[in-house]
Each structure stands twice: as structure tokens, then as C-alpha cells.
Structure 1
Amino acid sequence: MKRAALPGWLYILFLTLLATATDEFVVAGVLPAVAEDLEVSVAAAGQLVTVFAVVYAVGAPTLSVMCERFAKRTVLVVGLLLFVVANAVAALAPGYWFLMGARVAAALCAAAVASAAFATAAAGAPDGAQGRYLGVVTAGMTAALFSGVPLGSWLGGAFGWRATFWTIAAVAAVAAVGLLATAPAVPGSAPAPLRERLAPLRNRAVLRLVTVTFLAAGGGLMFYTYLGPYTAEVAHGSYGLLSFVLFLVGAAGLAGALLSGRAADSWGPQRSLRLVLAGHAVALALAAGLVFSGIGDRYVLTAVIACWAFFAWALTPPVQGSILAAAAPSAGMTALSLNIAGLYLGTGVAAATGGVAVGTLGIAYVPLIAAVLMALAFLLSPSAPPAHGTTSPLADPHATADPHAANT
């Protein structure tokens, strides 16, 4: 049976997540220029990335509780417009603290937009295609790593670091207009007491999945953070290989995000999640074996890294689908935001833990520790849907979304 063509608004959500994910990491590519222009150290400029990630992680669940009752299209469009303003302010920032304030505002907007984007994709998907739709949105975040971030860095080098923020603002503005015109009308949840909206914080199934995400992000992103030194260690100092490896990570990750969404539709999100986690753990174990064995073959190295990247970025569609199945009916967006918070907190812990491992044990132990974390995530992951059978209305597009409804 031929699959139905994906709607245009889904590609705009892809563009939306591409813009917000690029905004998080793009400063890393223009750190020296920012530091020199604002007369601060490179280390201080690097905190612009850290603060964005921390605010994003904390802001996602907080803002989702506040925005749960609003129509998702309203959250998306208003959030994107404020995101545009925040990036315009960043481009015009006269000093470091002014830029830091703009980054905080942009992170809060990005957090609200990301939660609403995943909720919209899930609600707007036809029967049996929720994973596929979530995969496309996830692919926007993945694409930022090998297209948005490098492009932003190139723009910064060619036209100055401020041009990077202007470009992100322009892309977000285009996305806002597109979503205003085409996004499905996904209404907010009915008025409910705060206790009910905070139900995911007491839902063991949701918290279990958030913990799985935290562990998986900690393991996968630890390896990604130190991929450069790892590649040099295995390939015996061949730094020229790194550029190709980074491109390979992006391409394999994009394929993983898209294909895991389809797998979640075919096999169910819980089963797909366990397959992804198992594959990720095996790939990291192979990476550890490669560095300890002393095998320096480039082709073997790139094959192992491609396998790892595929599973690393295949995580989000099945875990988001599992989260939606476990969430209370009125708290789907809040549950998704908790998962996003787990993802970003895991990323932060990954960098710190990996740094300690490199400083005390050596780079060879990074994939080994990451494999252990991934194995723990696999052991904790559910093997079956929640026993109560409760499904968030976001998982039922016919209950919450009417793509042909008038704009809200």
C-alpha cells in the first residue's frame, strides 16, 4: 500500500526545529569572534552555549505546563516570533551581558516551540503514522548538526558573528509565517487544575522513560562530545579524517531519525525503543573494542561511527511515542517537555562525565562508559505499553487535530 505524501506543514516543523537547534550550538563555531568583539575570554563566550542548554532544559517543562491549555499553533507562532526578536537582539547586542540575556530569552522560546512542535506532529499524524511524523521533526534537530551549525559558522566567518543570528531570525520568521498559514489546528487541553497538569511528575511510566532518555543522552552525547579525540586516537593522529566523520555522523543520524519513526509505526514505540537502545549499546561497545584493540583502519572506524550515529539519533521518535502512550490525557505536551529536559540534562552531564573520564582514565574509556550507560537505559526501558492502556489525545489525531480547521 502506497504511503500518503507528507503534508507541507510537517516540513515547516522540520525547518522550525532546524532553526532552534542551530541557535543552541552555533555560538561554538564563532566563539573567537564573539570573544574578541565583546572583549571577553573564549571560556566566557562558551558559557553562551551552556546557559542556553540549561535554560532550555529547565524552561521546557515549566513553559509546557503554562502553555498546555493554548492551541498549539498559537504557541508555535507566538513562540517563533519572540524567538525572532530574541535573535535580532542578540545580533544587535552591544555587550556580553546583553547577549547573554538575549540567549536566555531565545532558549525559553525554543523550549516552548519544540514541545509544541512534537505535540503538533503527533496530533496531526494519521493513524499508524505518528512515529514517521515525529521522525521528520526530530530530523530537523539532527540536520542542524551537519548543515545549520556549519552554515552558521561559515556565515559568521564570512560576514561577522552577528550575521549568524540575523540568519537564524530570518529562518524562524519564515517558519512562523508558514505555520500560521498551514499548521493543523491542535487545540489546547481543557481547563484543569495545576495538579492534573503536573500529573507527569507523578507518573512512574513517564518518569521511567525520561530516565531512559537521560541515560541514553548521557552515553550517546558523551561519545559525540569527544569524537574528535577518539577519532585521532583510533586513526593514530589522523585529524584530517574528522571532517568526513562529522559529515558521516550527520548523514547517518538523519537516516536513523527518519527510519526509526517508521519502525515505531510498524512495531510499536516500546519495541522500537528497545531495539534502538540495544543497537546503540552494541555500537558503543564496538567503538570501545576498536580503540582497545589498536585497530587503526579508517574504514572500520567510519563503519563503527556510522552505526553508532544511526542509533544515536534514532532515539527520539520511539521514546516520544512511548511518552505519549504513558502520559495522562491532559498532559501530553508537559510529558514531552519533561523528556526534552531529560535529553538536555543528559547532554550536560555527558560533557562533564566525559571530561573526568578523559582526564583520569584516557579517551579510550569514553565509549566504554557510554556503553554502560546505554546498557542501563536498555534495562530500564519498558518492554510493553503501559498496563492502563491510556493514550494521550495527542496520539489520536482524530480527537485533537483538524488540519482543515480555521486558524486559531
Structure 2
Amino acid sequence: MSTAHSSASSRLPGWLFVLFLTLLATATDEFIIAGVLPQVADDLSVSVPAAGQLVTVFAVVYALGAPTLAVVCARLPRRTVTAAGLALFVVANVAAALAPGYWWLMAARVVAALCAAVVTAAAFATAAAGAPRGAQGRYLGVVTAGMTAALFTGVPVGSWLGGAFGWRATFWLIAAVGAVAALGVAATAPAVPGEEPAPLRRRLAPLREPAVLRMVAVTFLAASGGLMFYTYLGAYTAEVASGSWGLLSFLLFLVGAAGLAGALLAGRATDAWGPDRGLRLVLGGHTLTLAVATVLVFSGAGGPVVLAVVVGCWAVFAWGLNPPVQAGVLAAAGPEAGMTALALNISGLYLGTGVAGALGGAVIGAAGVRYVPAVATALLLCSFALASLPVRARGGLTGPATAAVPSAAPK
């Protein structure tokens, strides 16, 4: 490969950053309402727990809608799916901003979740197909970073906006970002064709493919363990370093920053070593850092500095999951079912998120917060063991990552 070609291939295209913005918008929509629940409850005359169901319904609809809509939209060009999905996403958030009552807001959240589900799967498929040979993991890492960035940019900004101007302003913000992303996708995204016409049975093939199901299970277990620790990070911090004023806020920012770096580094690792080895590296590091967090809380030897180091290292691995696992899913599914398989894996991620909160709460109720990282470590060990099984992907992708989805048409 010539030096000029290497330099050209190392430059990331503008459309990839548009997909970054796309995932930033959809992920912010998922998390942002948690910061304005009291205002929503007061304005719509419902209880805070009832307002909290707006978060739960979004996650459940997202998880169930992703694979279903992926099958429905499989034959459509990815640019069309992403741009149209974003347009409807904008409409749903405008409707949320104008909602006259609780059930109107709930309906808008359902539509927004369905749109976010199909847009996310299409965005990942576009990034994988548009990547040059040997750069798929890097491209997937940039798109994943959009989801991670929502934790420490979109969500805090939106929460501040809601506090300053009312909760409806948060949905206006998301609608504005979504509109910019939709225009960017329509103008710049590569022309990735849809899947070839095929019977429904073939489109549902990922549901029967052991290698795909294995990857979905890996994602589910890793999300359940990792997000359990994140969900109860506040209680864990109080246990390890109580009385440290402002420490939790710093740790939450650190998680976002380190997670962003982890997503990008994991993408490069996937390209260099292949999705199998990259995934084992991420899961192994995730398991080890959770084990250290367990030792830290039981030994009583921790302090703010040690805790910050452990949490920062954990975040790098925890948010590094998506690039290698998405590349592995694409390899396992083959080119004819890439988007459906990606959507199925996204469902595993969101179901794991739901289990994380419920199981972590049960652990705290039964044994105390000190056992949360211990249970999380056990789940990550199961995920690592499952990822290490010698199951060969359909595409035989064990080396450096290559696209296993329809290629983007040359421009």
C-alpha cells in the first residue's frame, strides 16, 4: 500500500461524523428524561414513578422494535432508512415537546424509541459497509462514540436546559440535533444498498444462527454486569469513599470521557486483531477491573484517587464493547442479514440494561451494595467464557475486521 493511499484511508470521512451525531441524538433521547423527571411529573400532574415509566417504555420498545423493524426495512437503502427514521424521530420529539398530557407524551416516546431503534441499526450497518478494508472496527468505534458522548455532553446539557427553561426544552434540543443529523445523512451518507429480496424465513435467519445468538448472549451478559455497576455507581462510591464532596460528579464525567476513548481504542483493536481477539481483550479487561472494584470495596483500602483510577480503567473496557461485538455479529450473520443481526444485538444490549437495574437492586436489598461489583464480575466472567467458545463465524472472520454487509457504492 502506498503512503498516499495510507494517508487517504486514515482520514475519516465527514459522513462518519454525521453518524456520530445521529447516535448522539438517539442516545440522548433515551437518557435525558431521567434528569427532568420531577419537572415532568409536576407539569403533567403524575407521580415521579409514573413519569419514570417514560424511561422504561422507551427502553422496552427500543429492544423489541429493533429486530422487528430491521426485518421490515431490510430491503431499503441504508441512507433512506436512516434519513427517514431521523425525520420521524424529529417529529416524535416535537410531539413530545408539545404533549398536552402524560399519555400523549408516552405515545411520542414510543414512536421516538421505534425510530431510534431502526436508525441505530442502519447507522451501524452504514458505517460497516462504508469502511475501507481493515478499518471496519475503527468506523464502528466512531459511531459507538456518539452513544458514549451522550453520557457526558448531550445528557448534562439537556438536563441543564430543562432546569433553566423547562422540560419541554430538552425535547426541542433533541429535535434540533436530529434535524441536523437527518440533513447530514441525506446529503453525505454513502449509498449502501438494502438486502436482496428474500423470503421472510431467510430474513429471520439470524434468530437461528448459533454464532449470532452467541454474540447476542455475550452482549446481554456484558451489559447486565457492566451497567449494573454503572447504575449503582453512586451507592458504590459512597461505600468506598464516603464524604468526598463532588466525587460522584467527577466520576460520572470520567466514565463518559474514558468510555469515549475506550470505544475509539476498541475500534482500532478490532481492526488490528480481529473481532474475536478484540472482544476477548475488552471482556477480559472489563472482568478484571470489576474484580479489582470488588476487592476495593471489601478491603476498605480505597480512597478517591484509587477509586477514580479503577473506575476510569473500567469505563475504557465497558464502553469498548460495541466495536468488536458488532463486527463479530456482522461476520456471524453474513452479508444477507447484517442489519437484522445488528438490531438483534442491540436488543440484547437494551434487555441487559433493564436486567442490570433490577438485578442490582435485588442484590443491594439482599446483601448490600458491596456485592454489586462481585455479581457484575460473575456475569462478565460468563460473557468472557461464552465469547471464548470455539464457534466459527459464518464468514470465517477471525483475523482483522472486514465488512460483512453490502458494500457502499463508489461515489
Q: Is TM more than 0.5 here?
A: yes
Conservation of the 8 A alpha-carbon contact between 2:338 and 2:405: no
1:236 matched to 2:254: no
Counterparts of 1:142-291 in structure 2 under 5 Å?
142-291=148-297
Conservation of the 8 A alpha-carbon contact between 2:395 and 2:404: no
The 1:119/1:399 distance shift into structure 2, 3 A limit, reads closer
The 1:252/1:347 distance shift into structure 2, 3 A limit, reads same
Residue of structure 2 in register with 1:400 after alignment: 407
Conservation of the 8 A alpha-carbon contact between 2:130 and 2:408: yes
Conservation of the 8 A alpha-carbon contact between 2:331 and 2:394: no
One-letter amino acid of the structure 1 residue matched with residue 256 of structure 2: G
- Provide the rounded CA distance (Å) in 1 between the counterparts of 2:405 and 2:126: 12
Q: CA deviation at 1:397?
A: 8.0
Conservation of the 8 A alpha-carbon contact between 2:334 and 2:395: no
Q: CA deviation at 1:240?
A: 2.1
2:348 pairs, out of 342, 355, 370, with 342
The 1:396/1:194 distance shift into structure 2, 3 A limit, reads same
- Provide the rounded CA distance (Å) in 2 between the counterparts of 1:242 and 1:400: 44
The 1:399/1:25 distance shift into structure 2, 3 A limit, reads closer
* Paired residue secondary structure (1:331): helix
Map Cα deviations across residues 242-269 of structure 1 (whole Å, 9 max, x no partner): 0100010001000000000000000001
Q: CA deviation at 1:329?
A: 2.6
Q: CA deviation at 1:237?
A: 3.6
Map Cα deviations across residues 110-164 of structure 1 (whole Å, 9 max, x no partner): 0000000000000000000000000000000000011110010001011111010
1:54 matched to 2:60: yes
- Provide the rounded CA distance (Å) in 2 between the counterparts of 1:379 and 1:209: 12
Conservation of the 8 A alpha-carbon contact between 1:324 and 1:395: no
- Provide the rounded CA distance (Å) in 1 between the counterparts of 2:29 and 2:52: 13
Q: CA deviation at 1:402?
A: 1.8
Q: CA deviation at 1:385?
A: 7.1
Q: CA deviation at 1:287?
A: 0.4
Residue of structure 2 in register with 1:103 after alignment: 109
One-letter amino acid of the structure 1 residue matched with residue 193 of structure 2: P
Map Cα deviations across residues 246-297 of structure 1 (whole Å, 9 max, x no partner): 0100010000000000000000011000010000000000001000001231
Residue of structure 1 in register with 2:18 after alignment: 12
Map Cα deviations across residues 326-368 of structure 1 (whole Å, 9 max, x no partner): 0033110000001000000000000000000011100000000
Residue of structure 1 in register with 2:49 after alignment: 43
Conservation of the 8 A alpha-carbon contact between 1:206 and 1:327: yes
Map Cα deviations across residues 159-202 of structure 1 (whole Å, 9 max, x no partner): 11101000100100000001101000000011000000000000
Map Cα deviations across residues 14-55 of structure 1 (whole Å, 9 max, x no partner): 000000000001000001110100000111111100100000
- Provide the rounded CA distance (Å) in 2 between the counterparts of 1:63 and 1:70: 11
The 1:403/1:254 distance shift into structure 2, 3 A limit, reads farther
Q: Which runs of 5+ in 1 are unaligned?
A: none
Residue of structure 2 in register with 1:83 after alignment: 89
1:365 matched to 2:365: no
One-letter amino acid of the structure 2 residue matched with residue 108 of structure 1: L
The 1:18/1:205 distance shift into structure 2, 3 A limit, reads same
Q: CA deviation at 1:238?
A: 2.7
* Paired residue secondary structure (2:335): coil
* Paired residue secondary structure (1:339): helix
- Provide the rounded CA distance (Å) in 2 between the counterparts of 1:375 and 1:87: 39
The 1:103/1:388 distance shift into structure 2, 3 A limit, reads closer
Q: CA deviation at 1:386?
A: 2.2
Residue of structure 1 in register with 2:315 after alignment: 309
Map Cα deviations across residues 369-400 of structure 1 (whole Å, 9 max, x no partner): 00000000000004667254357xx9548952
Q: Which runs of 5+ in 2 are unaligned?
A: 1-5
Conservation of the 8 A alpha-carbon contact between 2:195 and 2:406: no
2:132 pairs, out of 126, 129, 143, with 126
- Provide the rounded CA distance (Å) in 1 between the counterparts of 2:396 and 2:122: 21
Q: TM-score, normalised by structure 2?
A: 0.95
Displacement over 6 Å in runs of 4+: none
One-letter amino acid of the structure 1 residue matched with residue 338 of structure 2: G
* Paired residue secondary structure (2:10): coil
Map Cα deviations across residues 42-77 of structure 1 (whole Å, 9 max, x no partner): 111111001000000000000000011100000001
1:26 matched to 2:32: yes
Identity %: 71
Conservation of the 8 A alpha-carbon contact between 1:72 and 1:187: yes
Q: How many residues are matched? A: 402
The 1:319/1:232 distance shift into structure 2, 3 A limit, reads same
RMSD: 1.5
- Provide the rounded CA distance (Å) in 1 between the counterparts of 2:245 and 2:54: 27
Conservation of the 8 A alpha-carbon contact between 2:64 and 2:347: yes
Counterparts of 1:315-354 in structure 2 under 5 Å?
315-354=321-360
